[in-house]
Structure 1
Amino acid sequence: MKIPVLEKFMFDEPSIWVTAATVVALIFTAYLGLAELIGNHLQYSKFATSNSDQGIKVSGRTGFLIFYTPAFLAGLLSFFVFPATGDLRFLLLKFAVIFVHKYSGDVILGSTILISISYFSIAACLIVVHYLSLGLPEPSFDLKYIGLIVFTLGIFGNFYHHNLLAKLRKPNEKVYKIPQGGLFNLVICPHYLFEILVFWAFYFISQTPMAFACAFGDSIYLISRSYMTRKWYVNKFEDFPKNVKCVIPYVF
């Protein structure tokens, strides 16, 4: 699946099966975004806390460890399954998928499993599809170094704001507060903004249609999630600052 306007920025698809997988990845992630908008939330953070009858809960630390560990292992295993090929782009991609972050807040087990499978599938597909693309003509515009810069910004920004969230409440404290500090003074979900940057960095580094589909679909999901998160805060707190946007400072 290649979008004509982006032809100079992407590898060709290595097979029809990869094209099919790319379409499925895009549809699935976009569906998750639509589901958020109609109220069918993935049950983590405040959307798990406010729905106590939705299923078995696990702690945020445990839940997000389950989220990311399979994807982390997929990235780690790729160094052995796909040994050194001399391709810097492929090496950067393998390194980029192995980061795990701290998180606070309850998670419903069913959503934990779904998200874990999703992250693992994305990590595995990005790596395998790029491996299959090795040897194909390089895109006219090389974005991997831009991707490295964007990835560094995204991963540290995401970690910093997740850390602010983790420190927002005292141990065993369950009361929700309006987050402050960093970009929380401008948007309610800066951690989502930086996660979006991380996924676009995957695309810039890999430049495969699969990486583009994952970045585009993840952006739809996280923008939708941030919209519903802001709506939740507005309903819960009468003094919620009106100037604080959803995910993009001053814009949305």
Structure 2
Amino acid sequence: MADITFQVQPRGRPIKRLPKEITLPSTASTADIYNHLSSKTGLSIHRLRITNDSSVLAASNPVSLATASLNDGTVLSVKDLGPQIAWRTVFVIEYLGPLLIHPILYFARAHLYGNPNGPGTQLDFPAPSSAQTLALVLSTIHFAKRELETLFLHRFSSATMPAFNIVKNSAHYWALAGANIAYWVYSPTSPTASLTSDSLIVKVGLALFVIGELGNLYTHYVLANLRPAGTTTRAIPRGFGFGLVTCPNYTFEVLAWVGMCLVTLSWSTVLFTAVAGGQMLVWAQKKERRYRKEFQDKYKKKRATMIPFVA
């Protein structure tokens, strides 16, 4: 069959070594366009966005040139998205912050805080309460679970994100979930320092944390198995909370952090839970709209996206 020649132009800033036209076999796919231009420019395919009349060409789930309505003489616009970083790497870096910060601040308590008994007193620096130790254990379990899920369970719909965004994304976890919570919770004058692990409120918090973590893990397992390995194929999740809300993984995540709020009785934990919960609610609402648009009649509209019967 005859070859197809495309006109190529940069979109935005100029791209070095970008050819003005390329020729491919008519049997090629959209992925072949990305690979060809990647080899010509020396840029990763994940750094390129190729459009035709404002329609983005598929790279991860390629289609034939005919399916994409690409004909001889079609003009392709190519945008350089800038340096990229793999989503898996992003998550590993994000969760590594609080995973390291909590034990560092916990074991550095005597050097970090002034002795509440006053300078020059004969009393030693007070040992951490059992609730403070429990808070350390639970935060370590939570973020270690996140790291393991990232490495061995999660499958990502997008391969990369702009590298600069790692600073913004990491700040949420390193600052709010890491330094913010750890500094206030492990202080000898914090409310957590006056709690014991056998307190009723701590036991309730621990129960909510366990339920939330196990529920979150299982929903992540369900979501991972919807997408065949090596693809970005989407499907409708069903069962175990998915019939009640759009994103039960977020529901269980918030439940676990509500448990942490009860274990620590710290406004720092409440602050992180509120900020993270608000962001997850926005994501859940976007996912609900996307499901309805993508699957249409096949998808049953949910009354709530994250909080059952509420929002």
The verdict on a shared fold, with TM-score over 0.5 as the criterion, is yes
From 80, 94, 98, the equivalent of 1:67 is 94
State whether residues 187 and 244 of structure 1, in contact with CA within 8 Å, keep that contact through their aligned partners in structure 2.
yes
Q: Which position in structure 1 is the counterpart of 2:22?
A: none
Q: Which structure carries more strand by proportion?
A: 2
Write the mapping of 1:218-229 to structure 2, written as runs, cut at 5 A.
218-229=276-287
Amino acid at match of 1:96: L
Q: Does 1:188 align with 2:215?
A: no
| Corresponding residue for residue 245 of structure 1 | 304
| Contact 1:97–1:123 (8 Å) recurs in 2 | no
Pick closer, same or farther for the CA change 1:111–1:180 going to 2, 3 Å.
farther
Residue 127 of structure 1 pairs with residue 178 of structure 2 = no
CA deviations over 1:95-114 (Å, ceiling 9, x no partner) = 12123321321352444432
- Residue matched to 1:230: 288
> Do the aligned partners of 1:230 and 1:246 also contact (CA within 8 Å) in 2?
yes
Mapping 1:1-12, distance limit 5 Å: none
Equivalent residue of 1:249, what SS? coil
Number of aligned residue pairs = 201
Whole-angstrom CA distance in 2 between matches of 1:57 and 1:183: 35
The alignment's TM-score, normalised by the length of structure 2, stands at: 0.57
CA, structure 1 residues 224+54, in 2 after alignment: closer, same or farther (shift >3 Å)? farther
Please, which of 187, 197, 205 is the counterpart of residue 147 of structure 1? 205
The whole-number CA distance in structure 2 between the counterparts of 1:148 and 1:55 is 44
Report Cα offsets for 1:103-142 as digits up to 9, x if no partner: 3213524444322221121222112102235366958x96
1:190–1:247 CA contact under 8 A, matched in 2: yes
The whole-number CA distance in structure 2 between the counterparts of 1:61 and 1:152 is 25
**Alpha-carbon deviations, 1:132-173, whole Å to 9, x = none?**
35366958x962211111111111111111121122111111
Superposition map of 1:154-193 within 5 A: 154-193=212-251
In the other structure, the counterpart of 1:115 is: 169
Taking a change above 3 Å as real, the CA distance of residues 75 and 135 of structure 1, as seen in their structure-2 partners, is closer
SS at match of 2:186: helix
> Corresponding residue for 1:90?
132
Instruction: Give the drift of 1:248.
Output: 2.3
2:71 maps to which residue? none
Provide the TM-score with structure 1 as the length reference: 0.69
More helix by share: 1
Q: Tell me by how many angstroms 1:67 deviates.
A: 2.0
Cα separation, 1, equivalents of 2:249 and 2:256: 11
Higher relative contact order (CA 8 A, sep 6+): 1
- For residues 283 and 302 of structure 2, the distance between their equivalents in structure 1, rounded to whole angstroms, comes to 18
